[in-house]
């Protein structure tokens, strides 16, 4: 699987990214395209997936866009079938689609809990089943990369439901790595920290509002600054910090790595 001298490291590889229309997923899709892969960009907001695919094609890459709702088994299996119809196979799958929500623990609504688990946990479970079946059929291994969160490592304030759904992703990554290892398929997770994306910007506002209701007097950006001040490397993450690790996990250099969950958080947590 070593790249030939002069060729790009992911030349000839077919990559699927869910939630590829925005933030981290978009950064991973464009990064892996620059490394030579052909991209299938899937998102519940199809126009944003089309924008990402357009950006890749404008830069000289190869990409298609499609709609998916990862909470639906039918939609997820149709997504995988559509990628295979377009490109013939899937070598690397990045299960990144996710939703966030912040609430004081005693006020988390049952629907909020269900939504976190439907998208973040069940979405990754269904995606890995569809991708795993396809990669097993292909008979030449594969790489699955799940985007979890440091919130899945330590129960965060105001995100009990989100954190629990991300802990599920880390645990699922381990079980699936064991199940798919006999087929040469590796399964790993990335735990981003505080990443400057639309999701984090919404989080900043939601936590500010909760804490202001609890008697504080925070302004927009204060929560982000408070988090930043706790990060040893001194800045919040850019999406491309996460894409760099996704590249390693997508490349042949990680062939002996499976069942792991890597924190990319500037040192905010270290276990």
Ligand X SMILES: NC(=O)c1ccc[n+]([C@@H]2O[C@H](COP(=O)([O-])OP(=O)(O)OC[C@H]3O[C@@H](n4cnc5c(N)ncnc54)[C@H](O)[C@@H]3O)[C@@H](O)[C@H]2O)c1
In angstroms, rounded to a whole number, what is the distance separating the alpha carbons of residues 242 and 39? Answer: 17
Binder among 16, 65, 180, 194 for ligand X (CB under 6 A): 194
Please say which residue, 37 or 97, places its beta carbon nearer to ligand X.
97
Q: Can residue 23 be called a binding residue for ligand X (CB under 6 A)?
A: yes
Q: Can residue 21 be called a binding residue for ligand X (CB under 6 A)?
A: yes
Binder among 1, 7, 45, 253 for ligand X (CB under 6 A): 45
Q: Residue 91: left if φ>0, alpha if ψ -120 to 50, beta else—which one?
A: alpha
Please count the helices (runs of H) and the strands (runs of E) in the chain.
Answer: 9, 7
In angstroms, rounded to a whole number, what is the distance separating the alpha carbons of residues 149 and 135? Answer: 25
Using the structure block, give the residue that is written with the tokens 């270290």: 270
Give yes or no for a contact between 96 and 22, defined as CB atoms under 8 angstroms apart.
no
CA dihedral 83, 86, 89, 92 (to 10 degrees): -50
CB of 16 to ligand X, least distance (A): 12
Q: Can residue 188 be called a binding residue for ligand X (CB under 6 A)?
A: no
The site string for ligand X over 51-90 (x = CB under 6 A, - otherwise) reads -----------------xxxx-------------------
In angstroms, rounded to a whole number, what is the distance separating the alpha carbons of residues 15 and 204? Answer: 32
Task: For residue 43, give the nearest of 63, 20, 15 by alpha carbon.
Answer: 20
Binder among 98, 132, 142, 163 for ligand X (CB under 6 A): 98
Please say which residue, 97 or 108, places its beta carbon nearer to ligand X.
97
Burial (0-12, 13-18, 19+ Cβ within 10 Å), 132: buried
Please say which residue, 43 or 91, places its beta carbon nearer to ligand X.
43
In angstroms, rounded to a whole number, what is the distance separating the alpha carbons of residues 194 and 22? Answer: 15
DSSP 154: S
CB of 45 to ligand X, least distance (A): 4
CB of 21 to ligand X, least distance (A): 4
162 is known as an active-site residue? yes
CB of 59 to ligand X, least distance (A): 20
Q: List the interface residues with ligand X, window 135-174 (CB under 6 A).
A: 147, 149
CB of 7 to ligand X, least distance (A): 30
Residues with a catalytic annotation lie at 162
The contact set with ligand X (CB under 6 A) reads 18-19, 21-25, 43-45, 48, 68-71, 96-100, 119, 123, 147, 149, 192, 194-195, 197-200
């Amino acid at each position: 699987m070593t790249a030939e001298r002069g060729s790009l490291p992911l030349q000839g590889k077919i990559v699927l990214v869910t939630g590829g229309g925005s933030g981290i997923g978009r950064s991973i899709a464009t990064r892996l395209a620059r490394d030579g892969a052909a991209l299938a960009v899937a998102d519940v907001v199809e126009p944003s997936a089309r924008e990402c695919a357009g950006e890749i094609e404008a830069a000289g890459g190869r990409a298609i866009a499609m709609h998916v709702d990862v909470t639906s088994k039918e939609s997820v299996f149709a997504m995988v079938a559509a990628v295979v119809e377009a490109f013939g196979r899937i070598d690397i799958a990045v299960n990144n689609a996710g939703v966030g929500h912040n609430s004081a623990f005693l006020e988390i609504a049952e629907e909020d809990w269900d939504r976190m688990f439907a998208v973040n946990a069940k979405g990754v479970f269904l995606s890995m089943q569809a991708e795993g079946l396809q990669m097993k059929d292909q008979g030449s291994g594969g790489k699955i990369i799940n985007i979890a969160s440091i919130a899945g490592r330590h129960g965060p304030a105001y995100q009990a439901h989100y954190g629990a759904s991300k802990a599920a992703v880390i645990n699922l990554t381990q079980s699936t790595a064991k199940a798919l290892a006999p087929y040469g398929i590796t399964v790993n997770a990335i735990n981003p920290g505080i990443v400057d994306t639309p999701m984090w910007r919404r989080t900043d506002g939601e936590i500010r509002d909760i804490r202001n209701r609890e008697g504080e007097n925070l302004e927009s950006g204060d929560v982000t600054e408070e988090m930043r001040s706790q990060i040893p490397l001194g800045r919040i993450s850019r999406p491309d910090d996460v894409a760099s690790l996704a590249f390693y996990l997508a490349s042949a250099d990680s062939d002996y790595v499976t069942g792991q969950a890597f924190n990319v958080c500037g040192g905010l947590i270290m276990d």
